Chains A and B, each alone.
Chain A
Amino acid sequence: MFADHLDTKIGTPDVLKVANREGYGEGLLYAGEHNKRVVALCADLTESTRTNLFADAYPERFIQVGIAEQNMASVASGMASCGKIPFIASYAMFSPGRSWEQVRTTIAYNNANVKIIGAHAGVSVGPDGATHQAIEDIALMRVIPNMVVIAPCDVHEARKAVLKAVEYEGPVYIRIARDPSPVVTTLESPFEIGKAYTFFHKDSTHPKTVGIIVTGILVHTALIVAKQLNEEGVGVSVLHMPTIKPLDTAALDMFGATHETIVTLEEHQVAGGLGGVIAEYYSEHAPKRVIKLGVQDQFGQSGTPEELLAHYGMDAKTLIQTIRAIE
């Protein structure tokens, strides 16, 4: 059954769809109002990243750096060293994609208090094609010491992630998406950096148990699949892992102890992404089978989000087939 704080319209035709970048934009605006140290920088993508809400309200605290993502990362590091809390926003493919070394050396190695917003992440960017579909960003960021990595599941969680990132002292990467996605959480849903949450508890009378671990906007897919399969007699739970680093190992220990097989689901390369993280953890601490759904060492391409999620095996149909096939 669903966690009781979740939106009651999950899985119904009435489910609200909002892009989680809206949550970033609203969160940054709110943070800017309540904390004068918050500043924002953008590399010519102010409106599509929703940084424009902050830029319009606080132009004196907004820096338009032009199309120069490497410079943006290091300028933000310099501002952070003078007490500011900079948010830098661009498409994830360019920031932190293009600016990886600047993020590593000038932000993370300095433990600079910079928040990196990677917008338009995942294949769900759609028609723009592979050049604009960041499906390696989680891997790139999680291997850097000091870096926190968060992939919010919806608009509410994205807003909460921004506000928690302001409170947190140190570098944070937040991955957000362009396309409207189902709203699964509510204002009451908990969110803390470093915490995973069980969003769906399996029917414990079922003999076969499968745990889905999911991050980002595919949470709704995991939830509707869990509901359907439990009705069919398979004990499926959903653990939502918005923070990929630091890892909530206590939640993984509990989840691992109560599920025979784990299936991970993410809009990212499984190598180095959530799938890689989970496989690394369980192989060392509680060996069990981990099936990784996500992009399998391929580039994306143009298409609608639905077409692409189906093609690369991140849709409900693939998830159901995968779980049914588990012996």
Chain B
Amino acid sequence: MHYLSSEDVVHLEKKANEIRQSIIEMLVAAGSGHTAGPLDMADIFALLYFSVMRHDPTNPNWEERDRFILSAGHICPVLYATLAHAGYFAVDELLTLRKFGSRLQGHPHRQSLPGLETSSGPLGSGLSQAVGMALALRMDNPYTSQFVYCVCGDGELEEGQIWEAAMLAGKEGLHNLVLIVDRNGIQIDGYTKDVMPLEPLREKFESFNFDVQEVDGHNIRAMNDAIGKAQSIYSQPSVIIAHTIASKGVDVFERDFRWHGNPPGKGPEDRVPKSEQAKVALEKLRTLGGSIIPSDR
């Protein structure tokens, strides 16, 4: 496990903030796309790409790299922003999201953009692909320390294929598979507890032979510790249920399922008028919710 100093944590939090600002800018430029999931996963993406994973932005197909699979393809703005800030391509290109001819397709297309391990969008198939990668890497080396990290949304767990994949991962005891569930409690039609209750989620995964941890998905040090534990377990695949706050970082958007599938400018108006949404979101992020003045950063 990689130990995080206080300076490391501050650095990662700053990266997450930059990623969140890019997400808002991209969504506004695109005029469509998803807001809540990308914002709430920014801390975890910053941790993975700027600390945990072995990868090389100058050599995206490096054979020794860890693999990252975004199963919930609709939260791709956070992946694109993270890849750009990590150096896979220019940050300016983020503003082409969802435009004709862009490499940043509305849902990820592996063939289009360096750093993507798969295409995704139709929910439920990313975990299967992650299982396939973990199996292949283990076939080549039973003691492999190449890890496969997969991010699923919580609503996505309603797909039957997730549990087909979980069954196989448990059967095979894939030590090199780490599933991270974005447990933000929302999906397009409402709160997951109303659309389709997922609890008891811990017990579901345990019964599929996963090691299960539940973590505050915005506590970078806690997430780092959980990933370290997941890496240290040799006999089982791991799932980290990351409890997150939908739209984290922009308090006036937070916890509201109506921000699942709308960009700033097209979201619910009861707290911020549409015309102010992008400006307010960026201001909140640049001032850490009003606690600092922008020039402090």
- Residue numbers of A with Cβ under 8 A of B are 39, 60-61, 63, 65-66, 68, 70-71, 73-84, 86, 101-102, 105-106, 109-111
Docked Cα-Cα span, A70 to B109, in Å, equals: 20
Docked Cα-Cα span, A74 to B169, in Å, equals: 13
Contact yes or no, A105 B122, CB < 8 A: yes
B268 CB–A CB distance under 8 Å: no
What residue in chain A is nearest B118 (Cβ atoms)?
A: A110
List of A residues within 8 angstroms of B130 by Cβ = 78
Q: List 15 A-B contacts (CB under 8 A).
A: A60-B139, A71-B161, A71-B167, A74-B161, A75-B129, A75-B132, A75-B165, A75-B168, A78-B131, A78-B132, A81-B118, A83-B136, A84-B139, A86-B132, A110-B110
Docked Cα-Cα span, A111 to B118, in Å, equals: 10
CB contact under 8 A between A70 and B164, given known A63-B135, A106-B118: yes
What residue in chain A is nearest B119 (Cβ atoms)?
A: A109
Contact yes or no, B133 A78, CB < 8 A: yes
Task: Select B133's contact among A61, A73, A82, beta carbons within 8 Å.
Answer: A82
Docked Cα-Cα span, A303 to B117, in Å, equals: 47
What residue in chain A is nearest B133 (Cβ atoms)?
A: A78
What residue in chain A is nearest B125 (Cβ atoms)?
A: A74
What distance in Å separates the Cβ of B137 from its nearest Cβ neighbour in chain A?
Answer: 6
What distance in Å separates the Cβ of A7 from its nearest Cβ neighbour in chain B?
Answer: 40
Contact yes or no, B168 A101, CB < 8 A: no
Docked Cα-Cα span, A21 to B164, in Å, equals: 27
Q: Residues 118-149 of chain B: 1 if any A CB is under 8 Å from the residue's CB, otherwise 0? A: 11111011101111111111011000000000
Q: Given A60-B139, A75-B129, output 14 extra A-B contacts at Cβ < 8 Å.
A: A66-B167, A73-B128, A77-B118, A77-B128, A78-B130, A81-B67, A81-B118, A82-B137, A102-B161, A105-B119, A105-B121, A106-B118, A106-B129, A109-B111
A-B interface, 5 closest residue pairs, ranked by CB to CB distance from nearest: A78-B132, A74-B128, A82-B136, A71-B164, A78-B129
Docked Cα-Cα span, A101 to B124, in Å, equals: 11
List of B residues within 8 angstroms of A73 by Cβ = 128
Contact yes or no, A102 B132, CB < 8 A: no
Contact yes or no, B110 A76, CB < 8 A: no
What distance in Å separates the Cβ of A290 from its nearest Cβ neighbour in chain B?
Answer: 36
What residue in chain A is nearest B148 (Cβ atoms)?
A: A78
- With a 10 A CB-CB cut-off, give which of B117, B126, B132, B140 has the most chain A CB atoms: B132
What distance in Å separates the Cβ of B149 from its nearest Cβ neighbour in chain A?
Answer: 13
Contact yes or no, A71 B133, CB < 8 A: no
Docked Cα-Cα span, A74 to B126, in Å, equals: 8
What distance in Å separates the Cβ of B93 from its nearest Cβ neighbour in chain A?
Answer: 21
Which of under 10, 10 to 19, 20 to 34, or 35 or more describes the interface residues of B? 20 to 34
Docked Cα-Cα span, A84 to B110, in Å, equals: 17
What distance in Å separates the Cβ of B148 from its nearest Cβ neighbour in chain A?
Answer: 8
What distance in Å separates the Cβ of B105 from its nearest Cβ neighbour in chain A?
Answer: 10
What distance in Å separates the Cβ of B118 from its nearest Cβ neighbour in chain A?
Answer: 6
What residue in chain B is nearest A84 (Cβ atoms)?
A: B136
Contact yes or no, B139 A70, CB < 8 A: no
What distance in Å separates the Cβ of A105 from its nearest Cβ neighbour in chain B?
Answer: 5
Contact yes or no, A74 B129, CB < 8 A: yes
List of B residues within 8 angstroms of A106 by Cβ = 118-119, 125, 128-129
What residue in chain A is nearest B110 (Cβ atoms)?
A: A110
- With a 10 A CB-CB cut-off, give which of B67, B122, B140, B161 has the most chain A CB atoms: B161
Docked Cα-Cα span, A101 to B111, in Å, equals: 18
Contact yes or no, A81 B133, CB < 8 A: yes
List of A residues within 8 angstroms of B119 by Cβ = 105-106, 109-110
Docked Cα-Cα span, A231 to B110, in Å, equals: 57
**Residues of chain B in range 171-191 having any CB-CB distance to chain A below 8 Å:** 171-172
Q: Residues 226-269 of chain B: 1 if any A CB is under 8 Å from the residue's CB, otherwise 0? A: 00000000000000000000000000000000000000000000
CB contact under 8 A between A71 and B135, given known A66-B168, A109-B119, A110-B111: no
What residue in chain A is nearest B121 (Cβ atoms)?
A: A105
Docked Cα-Cα span, A86 to B172, in Å, equals: 17
Contact yes or no, B118 A68, CB < 8 A: no
What residue in chain A is nearest B129 (Cβ atoms)?
A: A78
Docked Cα-Cα span, A82 to B171, in Å, equals: 21
Contact yes or no, B164 A68, CB < 8 A: yes
Contact yes or no, B161 A70, CB < 8 A: yes
What residue in chain A is nearest B131 (Cβ atoms)?
A: A75
Contact yes or no, B136 A68, CB < 8 A: no
CB contact under 8 A between A75 and B118, given known A70-B161, A102-B161, A110-B111: no
List of A residues within 8 angstroms of B128 by Cβ = 70-71, 73-75, 77-78, 102, 106
List of B residues within 8 angstroms of A109 by Cβ = 109-111, 119
Q: Residues 20-46 of chain B: 1 if any A CB is under 8 Å from the residue's CB, otherwise 0? A: 000000000000000000000000000
Docked Cα-Cα span, A36 to B133, in Å, equals: 17
Contact yes or no, B125 A102, CB < 8 A: yes
List of B residues within 8 angstroms of A82 by Cβ = 67, 132-133, 136-137, 140
Contact yes or no, B139 A61, CB < 8 A: yes
List of A residues within 8 angstroms of B111 by Cβ = 109-111
What residue in chain B is nearest A80 (Cβ atoms)?
A: B132
Docked Cα-Cα span, A80 to B136, in Å, equals: 8
List of B residues within 8 angstroms of A74 by Cβ = 125-126, 128-129, 132, 161, 165
List of A residues within 8 angstroms of B161 by Cβ = 68, 70-71, 74, 102
Docked Cα-Cα span, A80 to B129, in Å, equals: 9
Contact yes or no, B122 A79, CB < 8 A: no
